[in-house]
Amino acid sequence: MILDFDTKVYDGCSCVSLSSSGFTCTGVTVGGVTESATIKSTTGTYNDKNVASAHTVTATLSGADFSSGTADVSNYNLPASVSNTSSTITKANLAVTLANQTKVYDGNANATLAAGAITATGVTVGGVTETATVTQTVGSYNSKNVASANTVTAALAAGQFTAGTADLGNYNLPTTVSNTSSTITQAALTLTASSDLNKVYNGSEQSVSGFAITSGSLQGTDSLAVDLANITAGAKATHAGTHTSTVNDSAYTNGNYAITKVNGTLFIDQKEVSLSAAKTYDGSKTLTGTQLSISTGVGSETLGYTLATSHSKNVGDNSSNFVDAVSLSNGSNGGLASNYKLPALTAAGSGNTVVLTAKALSASIANVNTTYGSATATGAVSLSGKVDTDDVLAASAATLVSADTSTSGQIRAGSYVQTVSAGLTGADAGNYSFAGSTTPTANYVVNKLALTGAIAQGLSTYSNTQVAGAVSL
């Protein structure tokens, strides 16, 4: 009796299913024909369940396993077993599975595998699946980029397998394992728009541009010029004020970064104007019309104003005087008050001056009508042009021009011109100027003195020359 060579794939069991055709059962040869029988037995047993040592399959037989063919089995001693020592068990394939992998974008395709990320399973014997451990900890994504990365593949070497309940000698070990549901998530990146807080209004459009990475960082060999090339940031403005500088990523297509945008600031400060006031003393601090000149320093832009006053109303304070109150208003040629600010209104400076000019006074001298021999008393000097009740007087009394005196020192009878010299006195004199004054006519009149006389008694003797009495005035 012969049992044909048998083989099977490792299944963790020494049992084997046999086909009846695998048995050859022959008897004696009669007339050149060999008698034969068939075997119904379909099970056998390997000498070992493991690939390395399994080589013999033995089938145990009983009489009931034989069926007569051309041979009448009753004429034969039936064997109790049959073996084949050239049988084999081939290795089963060890199945490996890689769990879903994910990582935050880091600029490369490397994948770091955690312990246990790769599971290895073999055949199931008695309801228990044989297992092994895989120690590989590195793999690679099919792409480094978030959008296209979906597969992680790890190369496997025999030395990276460790037997668990599975005897590795019974398995073909895989050389790779992949997972096609893996992902790379975007790296967080905060972009802050650039700020410029040092602009001053100049009538032209001003700008700030660019951005900085203020949280997170570019990964690998990524660069601003390449990977964030389509992102812009900045602000443009002409007028004074605070303007928002923004990050614009609408054209960003890289996709490897989750971008958080933070606004910056473009601050355009108001331009400081210069104030220059000038007027003739009028007794008040109020400035109106052309008395106050406002210089913007920006092209042809001008400004108006209201409610302006000087710190002092007195000419004598010119060196320290300044505009202490004023409200700017829009000009007539495009100048906007909102683009400008005032200089300090607390002290005089190069950008805030007040110059008051002394008010010129004129004078009149009263007419005088007197008589020769009277004490000289020129006409009263009256000043005109002074403000309200200001305390200001001519510094000197009027005098006579070219007065003619007698031998006794008296002003001779006649008409004289009066004059008063320049100069003022009084608490408010510093706010005025006076060049002196001369009457246009001779209004100082000295009348002749009317005299009375007496004639003394004359005395003479008859026939003598008559002698008149002396005349006395």
**Which pLDDT value is given to residue 406?**
93
Arithmetic mean of pLDDT, 268-289? 98
Q: What is the mean pLDDT of the chain?
A: 95
Strands of the sheet with 359-365, listed across from one edge: 381-384, 359-365, 432-434
**Which of 169, 7, 3 lies closest to 89 in space, CA to CA?**
7
Q: Is there a contact between 39 and 60 (Cβ–Cβ < 8 Å)?
A: no
Confidence at 456, pLDDT banded by 50, 70, 90: confident
User: What are the tokens at 370?
Assistant: 């007197």
Q: Is the pLDDT of residue 198 over 90?
A: yes
DSSP string, 283-325: S--EE-GGGEEEE--STT--EEEEEEEES---GGGGGG--EEE
Q: Is the pLDDT of residue 257 over 80?
A: yes
pLDDT digit string (tens) for 459-473? 778 877 877 778 787
Nearest 10 degrees: Cα torsion 251, 252, 253, 254:
160
pTM listed for this prediction: 0.72
Q: Is the pLDDT of residue 458 over 80?
A: no
User: What are the tokens at 40?
Assistant: 């119904």
pLDDT digit string (tens) for 397-445? 999 999 999 999 999 999 999 999 999 999 999 999 999 999 999 999 9
3-class DSSP state of 29? strand
Which residues lie below 8 Å from residue 211, measured CB to CB, with a gap of 6+?
A: 191, 192, 193, 194, 231, 233, 247, 264
**Which of 279, 359, 271 lies closest to 321 in space, CA to CA?**
279
**Which pLDDT value is given to residue 1?**
65
Arithmetic mean of pLDDT, 97-102? 98
3-class DSSP state of 227? helix
CA distances from 277 to 274, 306, 307, 369, 458 (A): 10, 13, 13, 48, 87
Q: Is there a contact between 385 and 364 (Cβ–Cβ < 8 Å)?
A: no
Q: Is the pLDDT of residue 99 over 90?
A: yes
Confidence at 171, pLDDT banded by 50, 70, 90: very high
**Which of 272, 258, 441, 240 lies closest to 352 in space, CA to CA?**
272
